[in-house]
Amino acid sequence: MKKFLLAPGPTPVPEEILRVMSEPMVHHRTPAFKAMVGKTIEGLKYIFQTKNDVLIFSASGTGAMEGAVSNVLNRGEKAIIIRNGKFAERWGEIAEKFEANPIYLDVPWGSAIEPKVVENLLNENRDVKAVYTQLTETSTGVVIPVKELGEIVKKTDALLVIDAISGLGGQKFYMDKWNVDICVSGSQKGLMLPPGHAYAAVSEKAWEKIEKCTQSNYYFDWKVYRKKLAKNTDPFTGSVLHVKGLLKAIEIVKNEGLEKRFERYQNLATACRAAIKALGLELFANPSCDVETAVKVPETVDGLALVKKMRDEYGFTIAGGQAEVKGKIFRIAHMGYIERFDIIAVIAALEMVLKDLGWKFEWGVGLAAAQKILTEM
């Protein structure tokens, strides 16, 4: 049975990237490899839409998240953490581990924060050092009003720190224009690479705070990374294969153009959601992001069985819900190396599974709704 991967990470890897990553190993301290590192840093600046430093780590995205806390917050310092999903909660878990003082803004899962609430909390807590949130919350499919938050936070001494692990390269994002101070991401989603690489773009305002931070770090000491990467070399033994693959991924993104890429994912999202609604199902997130679609599971349908049947009987790996929404939602990715016919195929499989599970609808209505939009791409 042919397998299809439409989960929100890891995502499919293009063949041309896999070919580059299968080439013979090179040494990580050679001039040729250092030149590759320099090119990847410049390419990442384009994808982040920043002129700031970009750091590269051999780690999962969570490693970059940890560094964005441990290099910024001293023990006892306040940080606002917006919690509206499983990965938003991770910011708080890391902050508590490093004995910072998180102030939680809890938002119902599937909803985004009202920027005014953050503004009011910052006015009440002038000693807050950072605001932590997402670009897109992977566990729920919601998009966060980062641009509006940037306008608010820039007027204070606090930093705006964004987790764009699932959103970078697919959801509209402009780091410098939107006044973001730190943005972290990972390789295995919109950037179309295997897991194992993480990135952090860091503003000068953030570096001023990082220089004063007294937390202990070794592997994730960002000051060391900044010094070494300025010379296009990793402080440790970096992932040579990821750098080679990343160069090809950047080439693919640039050839398409970032704005056209954003538009394409918007179209994929629109088509997927048109199909979902035509099938009589409801979206979970409001507002929904462009890199995945989260869908409410009807009460008469077994949500866990739906995801399992999609994978085991039809070959389509999508994602279920996590934590409090386990079994209550399912998620279809349209990020990275996912194209319009992937959406057609997954909707066809979804119709078959829904029929198997007793959901009533007219055959082909989801496909027709998606095809109508996708033919106009």
Judge whether residue 5 has pLDDT over 90: yes
Q: 286-345: per-residue pLDDT in tens?
A: 999 999 999 999 999 999 999 999 999 999 999 999 999 999 999 999 999 999 999 999
Alpha helices in the chain (DSSP H): 15-21, 31-48, 61-70, 86-97, 115-124, 146-153, 204-212, 222-229, 240-256, 258-278, 303-312, 340-356, 365-374
Give the model's pLDDT for residue 74: 98
DSSP bridge partners of 80: 103, 131
Question: Which percentage of the chain shows pLDDT scores above 90?
Answer: 99
Give the model's pLDDT for residue 87: 96
Judge whether residue 138 has pLDDT over 90: yes
Q: Which domains does the chain have, with CATH numbers?
A: 4-9+257-374 (3.90.1150.10), 15-255 (3.40.640.10)
Q: 165-221: per-residue pLDDT in tens?
A: 999 999 999 999 999 999 999 999 999 999 999 999 999 999 999 999 999 999 999
Cut 0.95: pTM above it: yes
**Exposed / middle / buried, residue 285 (Cβ in 10 Å: 0-12, 13-18, 19+):** buried
Q: 72-111: per-residue pLDDT in tens?
A: 999 999 999 999 999 999 999 999 999 999 999 999 999 9
Give the model's pLDDT for residue 377: 76
Q: 10-58: per-residue pLDDT in tens?
A: 999 999 999 999 999 999 999 999 999 999 999 999 999 999 999 999 9
